[in-house]
């Protein structure tokens, strides 16, 4: 009779542990820090006037800077503190190109430490990612 009670206790403990861990995950409680941000700081350089400007873009919103339309879809801070890396998914359209409105000048991931991996190649502007907030 005691073996049945021990087995029933084990089953109750396993069920309780499973429900407890599922409840924490559903409510979004985790011990891990959040690496994804809600906004991105981008520095943009106008090569013609040699002036730069700091832009703070919200994730998912279109931002028009002169004749460029900028949209950041995601940004992520690195998980390691010793060598910080900021990545973001960026879409840029040139608004002067009226004939082909759906084509992006740049559409891809950008990396703060090495912008030459995914090059934003524009004759007038340069972009750098500074911070993911």
pLDDT 10s digits, 78-109: 776 666 788 899 999 888 877 766 678 889 88
Query: Taking the model in full, what pTM does it have?
Result: 0.66
What are the percentages of helix, strand and coil residues in the chain, rounded to 5? 20, 40, 40
Given a cut of 60, whether residue 18 has pLDDT beyond it is yes
Rounded Cα distance between 40 and 133, Å, is 6
pLDDT range class, residue 41, cuts 50, 70, 90: very high
How confident is the prediction for the chain on average, in pLDDT?
Answer: 79
Given a cut of 70, whether residue 70 has pLDDT beyond it is yes
Q: What is the domain partition of the chain in residue ranges?
A: 1-31, 39-132
Using an 8 Å Cβ cutoff, are 57 and 72 in contact? yes
Of 42, 38, 41, 40, give the one whose Cα is nearest residue 128: 42
Give residue 55's pLDDT: 94
Given a cut of 80, whether residue 16 has pLDDT beyond it is no
Using an 8 Å Cβ cutoff, are 46 and 124 in contact? yes
């Amino acid at each position: 009779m005691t073996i049945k009670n021990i087995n029933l206790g084990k089953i109750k403990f396993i069920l309780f542990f499973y429900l407890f861990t599922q409840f924490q995950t559903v409510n979004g409680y985790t011990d891990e820090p959040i690496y994804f941000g809600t906004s991105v700081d981008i520095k943009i350089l106008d090569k013609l006037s040699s002036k730069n400007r700091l832009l703070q873009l919200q994730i998912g919103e279109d931002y028009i800077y002169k004749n460029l339309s900028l949209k950041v879809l995601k940004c992520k801070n690195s998980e390691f503190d010793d060598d910080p890396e900021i990545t973001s998914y960026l879409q840029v359209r040139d608004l002067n190109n009226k004939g082909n409105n759906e084509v992006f000048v740049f559409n891809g991931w950008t990396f703060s430490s090495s912008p030459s991996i995914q090059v934003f190649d524009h004759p007038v502007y340069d972009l750098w990612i500074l911070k993911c907030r």
